[in-house]
Structure formats: C-alpha cells, structure tokens
Amino acid sequence: MFLTIRFRTLQRFTYLVAAVALIALIASQTINRSRPASTRQIRPIIQYVSDYDLGPALSAEAAVLIDVSSATVLYGRNEHQKRPPASLTKIMTAILALERGNLDDLVTVGKSAIEVDGSALEIEPGHQFRLSDLLGGLLLESGNDAAVAIAEHLGKSQDGFVKLMNERAAELGAWNTNFANPSGFPAAGHYSSAFDLALITMRALQIPAFRELVRTKEKEVENHQGDWTRLLQNTNKLLWSFEGADGVKTGTTTEAGECLVASATRDGWKLLAVVLKSKDRWKDAAALLDYGFGNFRPVDMVKSGEIVMRARVKNGLADDVPVVTLEPLRLVLRKDETGWIVGMADVKPDLAAPVLPGEVCGKFRAFVGSEQMRTVDLIAVRGVERRTIWHNLRRWFGR
C-alpha cells in the first residue's frame, strides 16, 4: 500500500514537472518571438548585375560601382582584393564618432594627436573643439590629427578605438578589412577592399550629419577657446566638376596611390563609386558614375512601409492583418534589358493567431521574366490575438 501511494505521488509529481516545463518552453518562445531585432546594422543582401565586370576603361587597380539603395553591384574590378585604403579609413572613424558621440561634445586635443605624421589641421595640445568641427577637419581636409583626437576621445586610446573600428567593420560585413589606426596612415595589417569600403560608406551615408559634411565644399571651424580658426576646403574636386556629386572622401599614400570614394545623385538616384590606386581618380570615378547613370535604370517595386496586402489569419480575433515591407524593393536593370517585371506577394498559407506585431508573414518577390531577382520580408502591421473558447462563448451569447 505504501509503495503504491509513493508510486502514484511520484507519477503525479512527474506530470507536474512536465507541465511546468512545457509552460516555460511556450513562454520562452513567446518572449523570443516578441523580442525586438538588434538595431546594429548588418551586411545588406548584395546583388550583382550580369556581366558586372564589363564597363568603362579605368586606370584604377581596383574599383566598384554600386547602387546605394538596393546594394546592387553594377561594376567590379578586383573589388574584393585587400589593399591599403589610405585616408578612406576616416569614413569608419566618422561613423563611430557619429554613432557613439554627440556633435556638441567638447574634445580636448592630446599630445599624441600632433605627433602623428601626414596631413594635419595643425591643432595644438590642450585645444578644445566641438566634435562637429573635428569631423569637418577629418572629412573635408583629411586631418590625421583630427582622427587621433576623435579616437582618443571616444575610445580612451587609439588602440581602444581601433578595436571598435574592427568590430563595427565586421558587423557591416566588411570581411576583407582590418584597421590598425584611425587615420589610414600606412601600417602593417591595415587594409580594406573596394567592396568593403563601399559597404562602410553605404552605412555612413545613412547618417544625416555625415551626408551633410561630405557634400560641403567649405567649412569654417574654430576651437572652443576662440583663438584658433581655419577655413576648410573639401579635397573632393568632383563636388565642383561632376553633375550631382555629393560626396564622399579622398585618400592618398605612396603605397595606396590615388584613392577616392565618390557619390552622386541624379533624379533621386544615388550611385557610389570606389577607385583604389588610380592614376587619375577624378577621371576614373566620373567614368564609373557616368557609366551607371547612362546604362542602368532603377525600378521601384514597393516602398518601405507600403501596405502590400491583407494576409488571412486562422483562428484569430481578426480574419486578416495588413502586411508591409520594412525596406524598399528596388531593381536596377540595364536600359536595354527586356522582359516582364512582376511583383508577387507570397504569404504563409498556414498563418495562424497569435500573430505578433512585426512578425514575418511571408515574402514579396520581384521577377524579371521568369527569373527571381530580389525578395523582402512581409511584416504584420499589428498583432492578432488567438480566438479562444471564451471568445466564442461571448460571441454566441452576445447575439
């Protein structure tokens, strides 16, 4: 009798433990589903046009041309080859400054900032500058001293800041990149690629303050004490000579040669060109941008946040839910390319409540002819609760 009671008690206890474990599992899955995605930008999905290695004659040893909004590569030459990036490095330095700092921060210049070689603003130890003014010196005139001052302010040391640079590069998908300093001064183990520099710059161009600075031709800066002023002039000559030019950065060392990241916008369409070790960076970058605008066309299939359709929901308090795309879907096609362009919404056939706000409910697919070109997620605009027996009872008795 005693053994039977103990066995039944143990059996009940086992059922209780199993039930608790099941409830905990369901709760954890619900929590995980409702947890917001990381806000850190990751590598975009890259698309290559056919015959992307065909394009204008260039003197650059490595180059890439990319549509900024869709991350479509229109031209590439040795675009993944590791090369010294010279002062194009400062684009990453600016990203970290703008992501981690405040434009009104006061930055005190340390002794090590004036000891760095290469291009300089000729600032002095003890000078204090608003971060926005140092960024002007960094991006317009490529001041290595400004790079060091920013690095020590945000990273506590140059080494600490370089660690942050490499972590951020990896997050952005710049996998052929390693930085050894914040300025781009030649150093062992300091390299990037034309493709990686395009990825990094695409992130930078999402930041309004960066876009404004790199399109600025001249900017007057002064220290906080008011006893040092300088009129900065942008080293990017395309801002004066190329239609639609609006950025971004030059770089030059003996080993790296002439380097340039250049952007231009025409009729709302932005292209980005990177040329490394060029014999004439202005001519090469202009040729790439002209090639892009002259031979390709953007086709916008769906806008960010646009309601695409209403997806049917099983067992929900609502019969359907509006779904949207959180990013635009753009195709870039050659102007002479023919074929039907079709968009298709593909919603999960078994979509059932509960549906959480922001839950992926399907895909929007873009086709040219029979070839699928790109997809984006379809996201629920709002949540839909699951219909329970109690809801049904209230519904029946409320009639």
Q: How many helices (H) and strands (E) does the chain have?
A: 11, 17
SS3 274: strand
Query: What is the spatial distance between Cα 153 and Cα 151, in angstroms, rounded to a whole number?
Result: 5
Catalytic residue, candidates 70, 119, 132, 142: 142
142 annotated active-site = yes
Reference 146, options 186, 116, 191, 190; nearest CA is 116
Question: What are the C-alpha distances in Å from 287 to residues 205, 238, 263, 266, 295?
Answer: 21, 12, 12, 15, 12
Catalytic residue, candidates 69, 70, 90, 219: 90
Query: What is the spatial distance between Cα 254 and Cα 259, in angstroms, rounded to a whole number?
Result: 11
Catalytic residue, candidates 87, 119, 183, 193: 87
315 CB contacts (<8 Å, ≥6 apart)? 352, 353, 386, 387
Query: What is the spatial distance between Cα 247 and Cα 169, in angstroms, rounded to a whole number?
Result: 20
Q: Which helix (H) or strand (E) holds 101?
A: none
Residue with token string 């972590």? 167
Question: What are the C-alpha distances in Å from 368 to residues 67, 214, 334, 372?
Answer: 18, 36, 12, 7
CA angle 74-77-79, nearest 5°? 90
69 annotated active-site = no
Q: Which one-letter DSSP state was computed for residue 44?
A: P
Query: What is the spatial distance between Cα 33 and Cα 113, in angstroms, rounded to a whole number?
Result: 47
Reference 281, options 234, 233, 249; nearest CA is 249
CB 284 within 8 A of CB 278: yes
90 annotated active-site = yes
Amino acid at 295: N
Residue numbers annotated as active site: 87, 90, 142
